[in-house]
């Protein structure tokens, strides 16, 4: 049974990053009443340029700061009378977590705990809000479920967590904290776990932007191992609509997977991108001649796949952007077309 919740004053953490910024664009376009406070530390992955062209910039207020700053978070909740938190802020790059895990523990785990504690004190103790008056939404990843074989079924919401990298372990810990704050304190929470996102504004270190950038520059395209690792690819605007659907209509305490049932081996995806760039940017074609295989990274998970049936059946959400359309839109954005 669908619930009904209407966010009005929303704190978005990590709103200058890839998915967070796209969510702010989406929310300002789709809801003319909502006001947004955007808290982002502006590390290497965040950029204010991601917020250019907002539908109604007067309803967006940016604050540079750390989600681990207790005084700042408490001040923002009170000063702006925040009723909804949508929590994107996280360190997300697996390779970086392998070479330096401390930031991942501090941001993903301790930072999430700080947000939960501030919301608990403000909403439940100071304001005495009821469950239908506030919402904490936590954005997580398919990587917490661990690696699948080629024959394993997609992961559902009851699949056992088996994180394999410092990044996914820190995200798994934050997921458990969110659940615990609901069951222990009654904090009204929801959670989503998404598959690999792609689309405009993604940082250049991720796979699809890396392939586009190297193709356009005529540089080698690095491919880990034999390129057969499999990921499910979700267009970022579909992810944003899924999050919004859960925030507004999911019962508190529920967790939903957001995937696209769009699995691709990395090497096949790279060939597809190269073929599209051959058409849009013929200079240098065929671009797949740039592919170079490099040593695999440590602990590289073989396959991720999500079962989104719960979200589709209970809340009526489905992805709207086809992979061909989403991939071409993404390439055109990076090409400035």
Q: What is the pLDDT of residues 238-294, one digit of tens each?
A: 999 999 999 999 999 999 999 999 999 999 999 999 999 999 999 999 999 999 999
Domains of the chain in sequence order: 9-199+235-260+305-320 (3.40.50.720)
User: Closest Cα to residue 239, out of 331, 142, 166?
Assistant: 142
- Check: CB of residue 94 under 8 Å from CB of residue 52: no
Could you tell me the CA-to-CA distances from 58 to 28, 30, 33, 37, 62 in Å, in that order?
Answer: 10, 15, 12, 11, 11
Tens digit of pLDDT for each residue in 207-253?
999 999 999 999 999 999 999 999 999 999 999 999 999 999 999 99
Confidence of residue 3 (pLDDT cuts 50, 70, 90): confident
pLDDT at 93: 66
Dihedral, 256, 262, 264, 270 alpha carbons, nearest 10: -110
pLDDT at 204: 86
User: φ, ψ for residue 325 (rounded to 5)?
Assistant: -65, -45
Question: Which residue in the block uniquely carries the two structure tokens 């605007």?
Answer: 237
pLDDT at 103: 87
Question: Is residue 94 pLDDT above 90, yes or no?
Answer: no
Question: Which residue in the block uniquely carries the two structure tokens 């406070």?
Answer: 37
User: Which of 83, 91, 143, 301 is flagged as catalytic?
Assistant: 143
Mean pLDDT for 4-20 is 97
pTM higher than 0.85 for the full model?
yes
Confidence of residue 99 (pLDDT cuts 50, 70, 90): confident
Where do the H-state alpha helices sit in the chain?
18-30, 70-79, 94-99, 102-104, 112-119, 166-185, 207-217, 236-249, 266-280, 309-315, 323-335
167 noted as active-site residue: yes
- Residue partners of 79: CB distance under 8 A and separation at least 6: none
User: Which of 145, 167, 181, 256 is flagged as catalytic?
Assistant: 167
205 noted as active-site residue: no
- Check: CB of residue 201 under 8 Å from CB of residue 21: yes
pLDDT at 1: 61
Q: What is the mean pLDDT of the chain?
A: 95
User: Which of 31, 66, 142, 238 is flagged as catalytic?
Assistant: 142
H or E segment at 161?
A: none
The two tokens of residue 155 are 């992961």
157 noted as active-site residue: no
Going by DSSP bridges, is the β-strand pair 84-87/9-13 parallel, antiparallel, or unpaired? parallel
């Amino acid at each position: 049974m669908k619930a009904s919740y209407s966010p009005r004053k929303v704190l978005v953490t990590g709103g200058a990053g890839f998915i967070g910024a796209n969510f702010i664009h989406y929310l300002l376009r789709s809801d003319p009443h909502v006001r947004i406070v955007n808290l982002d530390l502006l590390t290497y992955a965040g950029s204010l340029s991601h917020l250019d062209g907002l539908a109604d910039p007067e309803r967006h207020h940016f604050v540079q700061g750390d989600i681990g700053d207790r005084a700042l978070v408490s001040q923002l909740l009170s000063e702006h009378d925040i009723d909804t938190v949508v929590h994107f802020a996280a360190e997300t790059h697996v390779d970086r977590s392998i070479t330096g895990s401390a930031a991942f523990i501090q941001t993903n785990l301790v930072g999430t705990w700080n947000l939960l504690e501030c919301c608990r004190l403000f909403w439940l103790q100071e304001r005495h809000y009821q469950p239908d008056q506030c919402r904490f939404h936590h954005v997580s990843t398919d990587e917490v479920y661990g690696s699948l074989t080629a024959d394993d079924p997609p992961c559902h919401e009851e699949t056992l967590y088996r994180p394999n990298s410092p990044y996914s372990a820190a995200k798994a810990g934050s997921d458990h904290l969110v659940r615990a704050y609901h069951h222990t304190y009654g904090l009204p929470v929801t959670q989503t776990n998404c598959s690999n996102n792609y689309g405009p504004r993604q940082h250049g270190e991720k796979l699809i932007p890396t392939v586009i950038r190297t193709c356009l520059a005529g540089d080698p395209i690095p491919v880990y191992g034999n390129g057969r690792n499999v990921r499910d690819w979700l267009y970022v605007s579909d992810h944003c609509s899924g999050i919004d659907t859960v925030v507004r209509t999911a019962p508190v305490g529920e967790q939903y997977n957001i995937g696209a049932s769009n699995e691709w081996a990395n090497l096949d995806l790279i060939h597809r991108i190269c073929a599209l760039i051959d058409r849009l940017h013929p200079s240098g074609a065929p671009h797949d001649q740039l592919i170079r295989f490099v040593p695999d990274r440590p602990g590289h998970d073989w396959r991720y796949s999500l079962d989104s049936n719960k979200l589709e059946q209970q809340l009526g959400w489905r992805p709207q952007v086809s992979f061909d359309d989403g991939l071409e839109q993404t390439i055109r954005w990076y090409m400035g077309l």
